Structure 1
């Protein structure tokens, strides 16, 4: 499967996901407003951290080793059984903890114990949430792109329908519940899709944990946990800082800008995860890895830059169509945010080399440093420029991050022989 073909096939799912995500943004803009956006961002960060812990942070490893063991189904089954057992036990344990401390979690993340019920909904459906992510990771690793695309389309449609209905009838509380449960509902569609695959059997999904496999997962667990902690925590700190310094409306403007970035970059980021991670996991020679990276810079980076330019030119139209007049102050965030988005994609191409080749020490170091520097730069630049400074911090942070990754990955690739990895 080539990069171009993967991008085109995946583009169908991405188009649906983009349209539903933009539709969700409009619904949320109408029914929860800027302050509600900030609360949704806080809860989404909480979900990111909790689900990563619940799954054992192994889904990236599942994709990598499913692709790497394409020649040996027994090894693939050992990976799936180990991952399924770890995810099932981890999610059940986390569900119990969340249920017990739901009110405390609501205060910690949402500043209001009245939202404890949202966390209880999340706890009740968490096991399906993690199993859905596991099945998608397997589909990705198997390069079963048609089923992967269809499962993602189904998830996008459920997200839109559930979020729209609950937001209309219950406002912010309903939007938070939708965020908590829609991926869990999607699990049943993903399961039906997988049941029709010739390689799928229930007994492949749960069973004895293979300790050699579990040991291989540890590097990916470390990397995933680092991302699951650093990125959401840095965003929570930034959001709290913006809320306390400029008001929670301002924090909502930044959250809206961040969600818009995620929407328009979706084609690029999903292509990276669908194509690059399995592909880089297969490659063993230095020249092959370098060729894939250069291909990404010739195809993916210009696409990201062009999309960003279009978004910037149409920013006023976008705010009015996708949000409401209440969000007009976010206009000042577009320029530096889009520069930062382009730099982000440039750095992520190299980050996937670290993921695909399990360069976990470098990955962890770069993630921690990036998270800390983003918060520090936000404080510094917003004191100089006001709210616009958070977007400048985003751009400068990813410029530094990209430069560091270029240095790190170049150093690591020097350890790779022309015909394969040093053993």
Structure 2
């Protein structure tokens, strides 16, 4: 399956998910307001960090090795059983820990102990949440694009229905609960899609741990832990800086802009994870990888640039339709954000080479440097030039990251061979 066909099939799910996210933006804008947006952003960052230790940290590894073992079903089965067992054990452990510390977590992340029951909801469904991510990774690695698309469509529609109802009924509290339960419910749909295939059985998710597979996945665990610690933490620190210096409404504007950016870039970012990660994982020489990267630049980057330009030109209309009059000041964030989004995609196309080839040390170092740089630049830029400068800090940070990716990844592809970075297994 080539890049164009994958993009078109994935585009169906992306359009539905995008419409869902935009609809949810409107619901949340009406029922929780700018300050509520900031709280939702904090909570999502907390979930990102916590779910890393439930097995979510190895999802990219499952995609990579499922694709790499495409002609060895016995190795795929060992991989899935090891990953499934790790996911279940990790989820149960994290679920119990979250339940015990639910009030403290609410105090740290939401600044309100009375919202501790939200974390109890999370602890009750975290196993299904994590297993859903694992099944989606398996579908992705096997290039079962139709099933993957169907599962994602079901998840999008469920998230819309659940969030719409709970946010209207219970405001911010309901919106927070919706964030933790819809993926758990989506697990049922994803599982039914998998068991209908000839290659999957429920027993594929349980079994003895394979030592070699654990070793292979450990690198992805380290990369995911660093990413899960740095990226959400960096966003939380920036959000706290905006809230404490410029007001929590400003932090809410930035969160709304960030969510909008995530929505319109979905086609690009999901194509990278759905097509690029398994495709690059199969390749053995630097020449093949370099050609695939260049193809990505020819197709994916122009889409991101055009989408960003349209976002900027239609910013007033977008804010008025998707949000409320309270969010009008966020229009000042658009220029820096869309420039940063284009630079992000430019760097991510190369960064996926690191993921596909398990370049653990390089990934960890660049991830930490990028997140630290983003926070420092955000503080300096906003102190000097005001609230909208946070998006220009984001753009400048990804310009630096793109340069690093070019120097340490792209320029070295010609001399790359699979045996240099990882042993064929």
Q: For the superposition of Structure 1 and Structure 2, which TM-score range results when normalised by the shorter chain?
A: over 0.9
Alignment of 1:303-382 (within 5 A): 303-382=303-382
Q: Please, what TM-score do these two structures have when normalized by structure 1? A: 0.98
Deviation by residue 1:22-66 (Cα, 9 ceiling, x = unmatched): 000000000000000000000000011111111161110000000
> In 1, distance between residues paired with 2:56 and 2:216?
13
| Cα distance in 2 for residues equivalent to 1:421 and 1:81 | 26
Query: 1:165/1:139 Cα in 2 relative to 1: closer, same or farther (>3 Å)?
Result: same
Q: Is the 8 A contact 1:56 1:90 kept in 2?
A: no
Q: Secondary structure of the residue that 1:387 maps to in structure 2?
A: coil
Alpha-carbon RMSD across the aligned residues, in angstroms, is: 0.9
The 5 A counterparts of 1:105-254 are 105-254=105-254
**Superposition deviation, residue 393 in structure 1:** 0.5
- Which residue in the other structure is 2:279 paired with? 279
Shift of 1:389: 1.2
**How far apart are residue 421 of structure 1 and its match?**
3.9
Please report the TM-score for the alignment, with normalisation by the length of structure 2: 0.98
- Give the alignment of 1:92-107 within 5 angstroms: 92-107=92-107
Aligned to 2:388, the other structure's residue is in SS state helix
Per the TM alignment, residue 410 of structure 1 is displaced from its structure 2 partner at its CA by 3.4
**Range moving further from structure 2, 285-294 or 48-57:** 48-57
For structure 2, the residue ranges without an aligned partner over 5 or more in a row are none
Query: Is 2:62 aligned against 1:62?
Result: yes
Determine the C-alpha separation between the residues in 1 that align with 2:354 and 2:373.
Answer: 20
* Distance in 1, Cα, partners of 2:376 & 2:304: 26
8 A contact 1:60–1:137 mirrored in 2: yes
What is the CA distance between 1:275 and its match in structure 2? 0.2
Whole-angstrom distance in 2 between the partners of 1:362 and 1:78: 28
Q: Once the two structures are superposed, what CA deviation does each residue of 1:119-142 show, in whole Å capped at 9, x if it has no partner?
A: 000000000000000000000000
CA separation of 1:92 and 1:412: change in aligned 2, threshold 3 A: farther
2-structure distance, mates of 1:416, 1:247: 49
In the TM superposition, residue 413 of structure 1 has moved relative to its aligned partner by: 2.4
Alignment of 1:403-418 (within 5 A): 403-410=403-410, 412-417=412-417
Structure 1 gap ranges (5+): none
| 1:414 CA drift (Å) | 4.8
* Cross-structure match for 2:88: 88
Q: 1:345 & 1:173 partners in 2: Cα distance?
A: 34
Aligned length: 421
Q: Is this contact kept in 1: 2:56–2:134, CA < 8 A?
A: no
Post-superposition, which runs of at least 4 consecutive aligned residues in structure 1 deviate over 2 A?
410-415, 420-423
Question: Alpha-carbon deviations, 1:9-34, whole Å to 9, x = none?
Answer: 00000000000010000000000000
Q: The residue matched to 1:58 in structure 2 has which SS?
A: helix
1:239, distance to aligned residue in structure 2 (A): 0.5
